[in-house]
Amino acid sequence: MKKVVIVAGAHGAGKSLTINCHLKPLLGIGYYAHKFTLSGKNGYVFSQSLEESGLDVEAIRKYFHYDLLVFAARPETESGSKLNLIRDMFQKASFAVNVVSIQEESEAPEKAKEVFSLLNSN
């Protein structure tokens, strides 16, 4: 089953910290790396939210061939959030979608473990 985990939080809440400093080491990749393999499945990680990167939601279709994906997004309650668009797009592409919310940077180590667990579960 293909999976995507979306780390959702406001600007400065710790999305990038969670992904770059805590999740990537769990995945066995470096700070600047994006591709990983976990339990024989290929994955890709985005640490910058689509809102901040300016990447169009449609552009993420080119990553549908990966089994595991991690994205960052602003919370759905925030103006300009693309969270619901991302979630809908992946659900339509038959991905299991999970959202991990983060409120503050101190939660980053715990949230990274949660994301890793979701990626690594059957």
User: Is 114 a residue whose pLDDT tops 80?
Assistant: yes
pLDDT score, position 59: 87
User: Is 68 a residue whose pLDDT tops 80?
Assistant: yes
What is the domain partition of the chain in residue ranges?
3-120
Q: What is the distance between the alpha carbons of residues 15 and 6, in angstroms, rounded to a whole number?
A: 10
| pTM assigned to the model | 0.94
User: Is 46 a residue whose pLDDT tops 80?
Assistant: yes
Residues 75-112 have pLDDT tens digits of 999 988 999 999 999 999 999 999 999 999 999 999 99
Tell me the CATH class for 3-120: alpha beta
Cα-based distances in Å from 55 to 49, 52, 64: 9, 8, 15
User: Is 20 a residue whose pLDDT tops 80?
Assistant: yes
pLDDT > 70 in the chain, percent: 100
Q: What is the distance between the alpha carbons of residues 8 and 93, in angstroms, rounded to a whole number?
A: 20
